[in-house]
Amino acid sequence: MLALIAGRGDLPAAVVAAHDGPVVVCALEGHRPDGVSVDRVFPLEGLGDLLHWLHGRGVTTICFCGAISRPSLSLRRIGWRTWPLVPRVVRALRRGDDGALRIAMRIFEDAGFRMLAAHEAAPSLLPVAGVWGVLPDGFEATARLGDQVSAAQAAADLGQACVLHGATVLAREGEDGTDAMLDRVTDASGGVLYKAPKPGQDRRADLPAIGPGTVHGAAKAGLSGIIVEADGVMVLGQPQVGDALAAAGLFLWIRKRGA
């Protein structure tokens, strides 16, 4: 059986809807996902109890999906099953996002669970390479700039998206996410949203995604389109994304990196 360790946003519900099989949904305190019921809410201090509960439910496979902000840890709240994990939890909280996720996944693996990426649990969320809408000439160089920015942001353990206009970087994604970045962009007519996984990141967790809200945010910012990495960015609500692109006159280029 599959269990989602679900964060905020639409991704957990999309995975549940697309997965072929039963799913148990668990959420860290303060991180309830949208559009799906949660079977167990747990505090970080109760991680050991969660692992025990998952085994009791017959769970064999774990999938991390959804946005999670860095939680705090209260030593006074730690349950006895969690105490052996405390050194690794503290180490994870001190790492960057990718390092923290690697430690978290290793904790589950050492407890006997198999880790499964969201796009492996729901393969239909990864569309094939191609263009939705009409791709104007001249965006190839902008896309290559996006590759460079993505590599630089990965080296600094920053976000997975940026807004580009020709050879200019207008905005970079921070800890508040893609939608917040788009809200900060104004007068970006002719620009594009570029989004891709960080080069070298563990793709079993934190694979980026876009959805209808992303399209609306790009249109509000005056962008001409969206460029995402093929096999690296999930597209949620694909019929709605297609409708939103058509209504706004935007393109979506699902591109092989380096093309």
Buried/exposed 11-31: b ≥16 CB within 10 Å, e otherwise: bbbbbbebbeeebbbbbbeeb
Cα 153-224-197 angle, rounded to 5 deg: 25
Mean pLDDT by 10 residues, the chain (259 residues): 93 92 94 94 95 97 90 90 94 82 92 94 93 91 93 83 92 87 88 90 82 95 95 94 96 88
Q: Which of 13, 42, 43, 15 is nearest to 26 (CA)?
A: 42
Cα 82-15-124 angle, rounded to 5 deg: 140
Residues 6+ apart with CB under 8 A from 238: 127
Amino acid at 16: V
**Given this model, what pLDDT does residue 201 score?**
75
**Given this model, what pLDDT does residue 200 score?**
75
Cα diameter, the chain: 61
Calculate the alpha carbon distances from 136 to 58, 133, 139, 192 in Å.
51, 10, 7, 12
What DSSP element (H or E) covers 42?
Answer: strand 40-42
**Given this model, what pLDDT does residue 219 score?**
95
**Given this model, what pLDDT does residue 259 score?**
66
Q: How far does CA 19 lie from the centroid of its chain?
A: 17
